[in-house]
């Protein structure tokens, strides 16, 4: 009798565990829900890229943030240097090495800059695939214009990546195998950026960027 | 946590026990009350280090941007999902070998001998690459652990007026990191064989060549990978600096991650011990609790920072710093010290007042000292820092520890 009761109790318990396997996070939305109409696609696939222009993280953001693009372009030249004040600002020789061009492949801040730039490039590629996958929700003009704007932002980030690192891989799609990623020559990267911008310029808004807060052709 | 098609897994294991005491050759051995030998081997699934929802295509708020001059909240992905993610069992083998138990004459003397040897794979978040921003890969972060533990507990003295209880645990352990590569969407990905996990921090110590603790393939998890300091060299102005050795003999001293550094010791103890001894004579009793660890090292970052006279007078320095007159903040094994210690956690003295009263059942007076003292060769405030949990503080004493304080307390306990 006892055995039978145990078995009866075990069944709902098993079902209980099975339902745990089905996950529905309450604090996160499913990706498909944010690309359900043209407005949302623009907002979350195109406009969201402007979030990455600036940053509050070290080594991220196109300008200003500490140990990022600005520091590596300014403190490496005669324009500015960061001296040691007492024991402060020695920082393991970081600023001295930047000024004396003594960095190497193990430089963590430099690696973080690389990760930041390629993160935005990967997200831009993802946006392009989102626009492509949701063409049915967009008019032909919308699909064309959204794609143009994303490509313009991606070109901007490729420009900084090329300026910082020179021979960077050109990855233009979200579904690329790691084996297909190869280093490109600086010349090729420059031509890629230049042609991308020439291609998309006529499709961008005829406004001043500061008015719209987006990429335009003015 | 795992992919939708991988929510079930099969992790077989087997173990057996041999009760030696019941064998003919031992059954009549009186002082021995129990002797068992256990052994087992098997596989275990491991979800350590994985956060929830990593396999799903979910999004979060990414920020606020102006659209047509009005601020708009945008949403987007926070990491690449890995829908095929599974807890594999092909490599996550967990063995347990020779797990024996030995007991002699209950309550007079007991001993446990335990030997474990297991390896497991941890899963960790990989950094971004040219094709993805961040993803969870099933990393073959093999980590072999071996542990031999000896525990003794018993009552060597058990008389009416006198009683002695002894409890001791001694555990020897070692581990090794085997590999840091894994798979994502069928592509094999690998992490650098030498990765920094802990660095010094604070004013003038932020970033640069300040890394101290690393995870290195083939080494225990958490090792000190440091430049070697041969001694101190005098500057023309009378101050001193650390004489760093050119370990790779390329004619140039380079203390960056790939430069002149060597594995100088491990952050996790090789031996951990704990003990609890109590003694009673008539109505008086005394008990002491101890713990200790041996075989590991501690980087005395506090000493390094507060010895450099470069900081003075902007920051305070240690008492002997002006005399040493070191003006150098570079990390090296000069500040790597042995972390061995034995700590007396509690000492309690008590007296059970003999009672003949009917209303009071017991009356006990006691005095207790917490943190009585620590025996150690470590020169910092305390060797009891994080020597176990793998994170950025492991093995590094870096201006963050508040000195341990000793507490005296008196107690009176009455039972009605």
Between the alpha carbon of residue A111 and those of residues A68, A74, A75, A115, A170, the distances in Å are 10, 18, 17, 6, 18
pTM of the model: 0.82
Model confidence over B329-358: pLDDT tens digits?
999 999 999 999 999 999 999 999 988 888
A123 at B interface, C-beta within 8 A = yes
Task: Enumerate the residues of chain A whose CB falls inside 8 A of the CB of residue B133.
Answer: 119, 122-123
Whether the pLDDT of residue B178 is over 80: the answer is: no
**Alpha-carbon gap, residue B144 to B45, rounded angstroms:** 15
Token readout for B228 is 């070697």
Whether the pLDDT of residue B224 is over 90: the answer is: yes
- Do the bridges between strand B297-300 and strand B396-397 make them parallel or antiparallel, or are there none, so unpaired? parallel
What is the reported pLDDT for B9?
A: 74
**Alpha-carbon gap, residue A165 to A191, rounded angstroms:** 16
**Residue of A29, A52, A92 to mutate when probing chain B, most B C-beta within 10 A:** A92
DSSP string, B99-147: EEEEEETTTTEEEEEEEEEEEEEEEEEEPP-SS-S-EEEEEEEEEEEEE
Between the alpha carbon of residue B279 and those of residues B165, B224, B387, the distances in Å are 6, 42, 32
Q: How many other C-beta atoms lie within 10 A of the C-beta of residue B406?
A: 10
Distance in Å, alpha carbon of A74 to nearest chain B alpha carbon: 18
- DSSP run (H or E) holding A140: helix A140-165
A129 at B interface, C-beta within 8 A = no
What is the reported pLDDT for B21?
A: 77
Range A129-140 average pLDDT: 94
What value does the CA radius of gyration of chain B take, rounded to a whole number of Å?
28
Model confidence over B117-166: pLDDT tens digits?
555 555 455 555 656 655 544 444 555 566 677 777 777 788 889 999 88
Cis peptide before B138 (omega within 30 of 0): no
Task: Enumerate the residues of chain B whose CB falls inside 8 A of the CB of residue A21.
Answer: 7
- Top pLDDT among B18 and A59 is at A59
What's B308-363 look like in SS3?
CHHHCCCCCCCCCHHHHCECCCCCCHHHEEECCEEEEEEEEEEEEECCCCCCCCEE
Model confidence over A97-114: pLDDT tens digits?
999 998 888 888 898 899
**Alpha-carbon gap, residue A168 to A188, rounded angstroms:** 10
**Alpha-carbon gap, residue B222 to B201, rounded angstroms:** 18
Q: Which of A72-81, A83-92, A200-209, B309-318 bottoms out in mean pLDDT, i.e. has the lowest?
A: A200-209
Task: Enumerate the residues of chain A whose CB falls inside 8 A of the CB of residue B74.
Answer: 43-44, 47-48, 51
What is the reported pLDDT for B71?
A: 87
A171 at B interface, C-beta within 8 A = yes
Distance in Å, alpha carbon of A62 to nearest chain B alpha carbon: 16
Q: Which of residues 245-264 of B touch A (CB under 8 A)?
A: 255-258
Task: Provide the mean pLDDT of chain B.
Answer: 80
In this prediction, what percent of chain B has a pLDDT beyond 70?
A: 74
Q: What is the chain B residue with the closest CA to A158?
A: B130
Record: contact B131-A105, CB cut-off 8 A = no
């Amino acid at each position: 009798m006892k055995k039978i009761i145990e078995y009866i109790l075990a069944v709902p318990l098993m079902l209980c565990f099975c339902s745990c396997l089905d996950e529905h996070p309450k604090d996160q939305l499913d990706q498909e829900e944010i690309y359900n109409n043209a407005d949302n696609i623009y907002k979350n696939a195109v406009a969201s890229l402007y979030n990455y222009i600036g940053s509050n993280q070290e080594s991220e953001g196109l300008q200003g943030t500490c140990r990022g693009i600005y520091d590596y372009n300014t403190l490496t030249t005669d324009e500015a240097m960061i001296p040691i004040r007492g024991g402060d600002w020695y920082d393991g020789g970081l600023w001295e090495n930047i000024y004396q061009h003594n960095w190497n492949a193990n430089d963590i801040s430099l690696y973080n800059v690389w990760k930041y730039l390629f993160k935005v490039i990967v997200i831009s590629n993802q946006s392009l695939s989102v626009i492509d996958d949701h063409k049915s929700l967009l008019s032909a003009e919308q699909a064309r214009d959204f794609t143009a704007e994303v490509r313009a932002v991606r070109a901007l980030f490729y420009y900084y990546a090329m300026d910082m690192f020179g021979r960077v891989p050109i990855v233009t799609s979200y579904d690329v195998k790691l084996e297909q990623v190869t280093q490109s020559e600086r010349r090729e990267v420059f031509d890629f950026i230049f042609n991308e911008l020439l291609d998309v310029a006529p499709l961008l808004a005829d406004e001043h960027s500061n008015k719209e807060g987006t990429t335009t052709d003015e | 946590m795992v992919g939708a098609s991988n929510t079930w897994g099969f992790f077989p294991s087997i173990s057996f026990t041999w009760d030696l005491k019941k064998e003919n050759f031992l059954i009549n051995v009186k002082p021995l009350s129990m002797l068992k030998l256990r052994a087992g081997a098997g596989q275990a699934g491991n979800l350590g280090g994985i956060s929830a929802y990593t396999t799903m295509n979910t999004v979060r708020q990414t920020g606020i941007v102006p659209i047509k001059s009005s601020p708009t909240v945008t949403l987007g992905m926070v990491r690449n999902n890995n829908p095929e993610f599974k807890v594999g069992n092909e490599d996550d083998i967990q063995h347990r070998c020779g797990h024996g138990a030995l007991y002699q004459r209950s309550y007079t003397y007991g001993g446990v001998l335990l030997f474990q040897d297991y390896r497991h794979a941890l899963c960790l978040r990989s950094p971004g690459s040219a094709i993805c921003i961040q993803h969870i890969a099933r990393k073959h972060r093999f980590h072999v652990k071996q542990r031999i533990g000896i525990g003794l507990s018993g009552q060597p003295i058990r008389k009416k007026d006198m009683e002695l209880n002894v409890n001791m645990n001694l555990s020897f352990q070692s581990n090794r990191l085997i590999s840091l590569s894994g798979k994502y969407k069928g592509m094999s990905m690998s992490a650098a064989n030498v990765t920094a996990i802990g660095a010094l921090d604070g004013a003038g110590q932020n970033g640069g060549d300040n890394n101290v603790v690393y995870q290195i393939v083939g080494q225990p998890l958490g090792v000190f990978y440091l430049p070697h300091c041969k001694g101190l060299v005098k500057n023309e102005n009378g101050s001193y600096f650390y004489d760093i050795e050119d370990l790779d003999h390329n004619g140039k001293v380079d203390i960056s991650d790939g430069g002149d550094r060597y594995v100088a010791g491990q952050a996790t103890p090789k031996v951990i011990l704990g003990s609890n001894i109590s003694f009673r004579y008539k109505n008086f009793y005394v008990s002491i609790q101890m713990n200790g660890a041996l075989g590991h090292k501690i980087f005395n970052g506090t000493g390094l920072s507060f010895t450099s006279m470069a900081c003075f007078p902007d920051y305070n320095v240690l008492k002997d710093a002006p005399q040493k007159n070191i003006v150098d903040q570079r990390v090296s094994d000069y500040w790597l010290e042995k972390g061995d210690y034995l700590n007396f956690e509690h000492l309690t003295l008590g007296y059970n007042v003999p009672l003949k009263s009917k209303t009071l059942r017991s009356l006990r007076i006691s005095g207790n000292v917490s943190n009585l003292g620590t025996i150690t060769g470590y020169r910092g405030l305390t060797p009891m820092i994080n020597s176990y949990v793998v994170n950025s503080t492991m093995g590094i004493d870096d201006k963050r520890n508040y000195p341990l304080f000793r507490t005296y307390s008196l107690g009176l306990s009455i039972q009605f």
